[in-house]
Amino acid sequence: MSCELILGGARSGKSRLAEQRAAGSGAAVHVIVTAEALDAEMDARITRHQADRPAGWQVVEAPRQLAAALEATAAPDRCVVVDCLTLWLANLLDGAETLAPGEGAELLPMFARERAALLDLIPRLPGRVIFVANEVGLGLVPETPLGRLFRDEAGRVNQAVAALCERVVFVAAGLPLVLKDTPRP
C-alpha cells in the first residue's frame, strides 16, 4: 500500500497534482469523487473537473460512504484518487446545525461511523491511494459555530489521514511542498 495526502487551498493546484501523480503511476486510475451537484455553480465545477480527467479513468461517486467505495475500488494494480476529503466531510456534517455550541461532530452518527471506517481502512488498502483535501485552517476564524465545527473537523480529519499516509504534500500557487516522505519498509 502506498498512501499520499495532498493538501492545499482553493484553486491551489492540489487536484491537478493528484491527477499528474496518478497519471504517472503506471497503474489503472480510478477516481472517487465526493462532490454533489446541488446547485448550478457546483455542477459547473464538477463538469470542469470531469473535462480535465483522461477519458479512460474510472469514476466512482461516494459523497458519504467513502470507506465502502475505497474498499470496493482499491486494488494492488490500481491508483485511486479521492477528491476530496473536505467535501466528503461537509456531506457528513449534514445535521450539525442541531448540535449545541461546543458539542463535537462525533455526536452525529453518520459522521462518527464513516470517519472511523475510513481511518480503520487506510492502513489496509492495497495499491496506491492519493487523497486530496483542503487546508482550511490558514484563514480567519469562522463567524458561526457550524463554520468553526467544520474547520475544526477538517483539521482533525487531515491530521488523522496525514498520520496514516507515507507522503504528505502541501500545494500553494501550484507549487508542491513535501511535508512528509516516509518510504515504505
Over residues 144-163, the mean pLDDT reads: 93
State percent of the chain over pLDDT 90. 66
Q: Does residue 185 surpass a pLDDT of 70?
A: no
Which tens digits make up the pLDDT trace of 87-96? 999 999 987 8
Given a cut of 80, whether residue 184 has pLDDT beyond it is no
Query: What is the number of domains present in the chain?
Result: 1
CA distance 1 to 152: 28
User: CATH no. for residue 95?
Assistant: 3.40.50.300
Cβ pair 168, 21 in contact under 8 A: no
The residue annotated as part of the active site, out of 49, 64, 151, 180, is: 49
Give the integer Cα–Cα distance in Å for 150 and 173: 24
Q: Which residue has the cell 454533489?
A: 36
Task: Summarize the confidence of residues 55-82 as an average pLDDT.
Answer: 96
Full residue range of the structural domain in which residue 37 is found: 2-181
Buried b (16+ CB within 10 A) or exposed e, 35-65: beeeeeeeeeeeeebeeebeeebeeeebbeb
Mean pLDDT of 29-38: 92
Annotation marks residue 49 as catalytic: yes
* Average pLDDT rounded to a whole number, residues 71-98: 93
Q: List the strands of the sheet with 58-61, edge to edge.
A: 58-61, 28-33, 78-83, 128-134, 2-8, 167-172, 175-181
Q: What is the pTM of this model?
A: 0.93
